Chain A
């Protein structure tokens, strides 16, 4: 089978060696939105690229925008047309693999799941991190929600400089 042009070579695949997927690996899986898409509307990023028996993302989505189907080891497939960026899938995913990103001018926004104490508060200055846990840039917490239906997984929204939008995945613990 010919390799697809954007398939990462072995050294780019870091999920099973460093513990987190590389951007190349995620791009090959088709789960990284382009800058144009990010500027046009908030984009759900489902960084779940390994077949595991799991589908709460599918059942949590009121729009039917996420499909795992049968067997439940299928990778989740997102239909951006149907997605309203409501964010319900973020706390539903037991793998903490779902975030929502967007771009507004020179600022980027991310909504991500958070299960550590202390929980940040609106206005906190925080350090945004990449998938390997490296600090990438400063950020500001815009909102924190944790309604009962989240079952103790808070959802934090933070904003940071647009240029880091591809790399940022979460924030450093306080």
Chain B
């Protein structure tokens, strides 16, 4: 098979994109890795906690160290990493339009495009939500772990998924007090071991509770919370006021699918993985066969699954470009798929596994 010498372009240098680029480069394929940020690593450098998973998923290692290792590996391999480079356009013929440093704009023809664009944090609107001091949990995490700035002294965390409880824990580690973690659902969302470590630090966790409004003059001074009924409607007479100066929202993420839509990738609605997302097959190929989607854009999961998806797509793209034979591709992806399967088990993983199966089935049906 003749080798395609046009580069594979990987958009997004988070865990998924880094792994995709590494696998492509390892196979000898030309690859460009682009990221709009000044530094690669995506969210990994904010993850100061030890990861879950098994040893082969780098469990027990802090996310920040996994990020450093991936970076070192990509530098050792000599991958062309273009930072401060925003991919603003992508057409179905794989013409990539990039803007570098907000000054220089150029286009190039890619042989394959791997979209690892991640996800965007959701917000919930409530009276007072535009006051300074209301921010997403990811924003608070960036402030403390990247910029070393404490966003506030007393914090209310809205949302009890893993993001909410992990960021609550890290805010306490950074020296803040967390006044409460509230959750509208009847059960807390995050792993029990995460909620337990925050709870034993004295943080109340309140289920069936929502934020009603934020109060304050120049910024947040108080949060009014209330219990909710089975339909998430606030119950009259249950309002309480908490003295807080910061309100963090950890209410889920939505896949960032803009470029996939521009490329004409068909999307599918999967609420349990964050909303609309591109369909993909078992090798992470979208409905546009030369465009792959990996990581949170392909359904919001975790860094560990994002890395495996990135590897899967990188290996397959290198194969489809003629840099790996089918036996080698099968061999390399078999390991990756086994590890992915292992990460999608148990009460938390099974839901994601079923959702992923639905995406594959829909892809099969819609664009076999």
Contacts and interface: CB of A to CB of B under 8 A. Distances in A.
Interface of A: 15-21, 47-56, 59-60, 70-73, 92-97, 115-117, 129-134, 151-153, 169-170, 172-173
A153 B50 contact: yes
Interface stretch (B55-63, B75-83, B242-250): B55-63
A20 B199 contact: yes
A169 B200 contact: yes
A155 B199 CA distance: 19
Given A19-B205, A51-B345, A131 B196 contact: yes
Contacts, number: 144
Contacts of B52: 52-54, 94-95
Contacts of A129: 200, 202
Interface stretch (B97-105, B127-135, B184-192): B184-192
Given A48-B193, A95-B193, 10 more contacts: A19-B195, A52-B346, A53-B343, A59-B60, A73-B347, A97-B193, A117-B175, A129-B200, A129-B202, A173-B172
Contacts of A134: 202
Residues of B in contact with A, size category: 35 or more
Contacts of A70: 342
Most buried by A among B54, B55, B196, B344: B196
Given A17-B207, A52-B52, A55-B55, A92 B60 contact: yes
A16 B59 contact: no
Contact of B59 (A17, A54, A130, A152): A54
A47 B207 CA distance: 22
Given A15-B195, A94-B60, A133-B201, A73 B55 contact: no
Contact of B197 (A52, A53, A95): A95
Given A51-B345, A73-B346, A94-B49, A21 B192 contact: yes
A71 B199 contact: no
- Ranked nearest first, the 9 interchain pairs of A and B with the lowest CB-CB distance are A95-B193, A73-B346, A133-B202, A51-B346, A19-B199, A94-B50, A19-B205, A56-B60, A19-B195
Contact of A15 (B192, B342, B344, B349): B192
Contacts of A170: 200
Contact of A72 (B49, B54, B193, B203): B54
B59 A56 contact: yes
Given A59-B55, A116-B172, A132-B199, A95 B191 contact: yes
A50 B53 CA distance: 14
Contact of B173 (A47, A60, A116): A116
Interface in B323-368: 342-349
B193 A18 contact: no
B63 to A, nearest CB: 10
Contacts of B51: 94
A132 B346 contact: no
B194 interface: yes
A90 to B, nearest CB: 12
Nearest to A92: B60
A60 B196 contact: no
B223 interface: no
A60 B173 CA distance: 25
B303 interface: no
A30 to B, nearest CB: 16
Contacts of A51: 345-348
Contacts of B202: 129, 133-134, 172
